[in-house]
């Protein structure tokens, strides 16, 4: 399949509103266009919305969409893109590497974040 990349649904493959993305950048652009404008990062044991400085614990967040990319020709495309909503209405994106380069602390944090994909 050459340089073709695909987004594979994780955890809940039966989700009705599926978005097909070819690259991580395409997924991020579309999610931002749909209102997921904050960039989240893990700081210590809390999530922080870069820019606003708002901090969140796992119970404050919900994963509403996520996509796994397996870069057949570009290892940099091996990533998971998460669309996350906070209780206070903050909507944002988190990108983590997939596979051997994933962040184990982030994976542990995300295990405590509920998943509610519609």
Please tell me the predicted confidence (pLDDT) of residue 101: 81
pLDDT, one tens digit per residue, over 40-59 is 999 999 999 999 999 999 99
- Residue 66 three-state SS: strand
Mean per-residue pLDDT, 112-117: 90
pLDDT, one tens digit per residue, over 62-77 is 999 999 888 666 666 7
Domain ranges for the chain, please list them: 7-111
pTM of the complete model: 0.80
Strands (E), 1-118: 7-9, 38-43, 46-50, 55-56, 61-69, 79-86, 91-97
pLDDT, one tens digit per residue, over 12-38 is 333 334 678 888 899 999 999 999 999
């Amino acid at each position: 399949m050459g340089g073709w990349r695909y987004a594979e649904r994780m955890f809940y493959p039966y989700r009705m509103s599926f978005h097909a993305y070819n690259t991580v950048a395409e997924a991020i652009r579309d999610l931002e266009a749909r209102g997921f404008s904050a960039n989240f990062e893990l700081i210590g044991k809390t999530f922080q919305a870069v820019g606003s400085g708002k901090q969140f614990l796992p119970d404050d967040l919900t994963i509403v969409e996520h996509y796994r990319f397996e870069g057949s020709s570009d290892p940099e495309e091996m990533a998971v893109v998460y669309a996350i909503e906070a209780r206070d209405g903050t909507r944002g994106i988190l990108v983590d590497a997939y596979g051997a380069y994933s962040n184990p602390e982030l994976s542990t944090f995300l295990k405590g974040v509920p998943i509610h994909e519609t």
